[in-house]
Amino acid sequence: MNVIKLCFATRNKHKLEEVQAMLPQGIQLVGLDDIGCREELAEDFQTLEENSMQKAAYVYRHYHVPCFADDSGLEIDALDGRPGADSAHYAGPQRSHSDNIDKVLRELTGISNRDARFRCVITLAGANRLVSQEHEEYRQFTGVLEGEILPGREGTGGFGYDPIFIPKGFNKGLATLGMDEKNQISHRGRALRMLSNYLLQDA
């Protein structure tokens, strides 16, 4: 089998290992540090699609390696789609998961509509059937996990907003699920499967 090597636009080693474990053996990942990218990648936009594209385009244009970048967020219907692209720093620049959860729960006080979804958008640049660097073309893959916001925290697993999210069709919260079970249904897992299917269909 031909091995496809890609840069995943992250310097978080845990995230890199987690995503690698979710991909087939035919796809091998390196991180930003491995290609010598030390600068922080900007996320200047208000949509997951634009932020994901911005990061992938920067790495591809400046380092000339096949790469992909992701951006994820929680979208709550009663909050007009917030926190969305601001999910990581919804309660402020400290990027505290606990503070973010507290803010969401406060804003939903007295609101019966708890419908929400996690969305992950992956942008791929410069790999497999994409054209050369002279013709910049990108492909995006979107994974969605529908569910509801719980009235309070449940479970100790996961991260981010997992303790207050219950997936559609489940009777327990996301933070109570094992990692394998979560990866099967997660928004990132679904987007990654779309990415790997695209990359391997001609391999």
Could you give the residue numbers annotated as active site?
71
Q: Which of 163, 164, 83 is nearest to 92 (CA)?
A: 83
Cβ proximity of 7 and 176 under 8 Å = no
Cβ proximity of 141 and 194 under 8 Å = yes
DSSP 8-state symbol, 28 = E
Cβ proximity of 119 and 48 under 8 Å = yes
DSSP 8-state symbol, 42 = P
Number of H helices, E strands in the chain: 5, 6
Which single residue is written with the structure tokens 């840069």?
7
Q: Distance (Å, rounded) from C-alpha 93 to C-alpha 142?
A: 26
Q: Distance (Å, rounded) from C-alpha 197 to C-alpha 201?
A: 6
Query: Angle at the Cα of 152 (from 43 to 92), degrees rounded to 5?
Result: 30
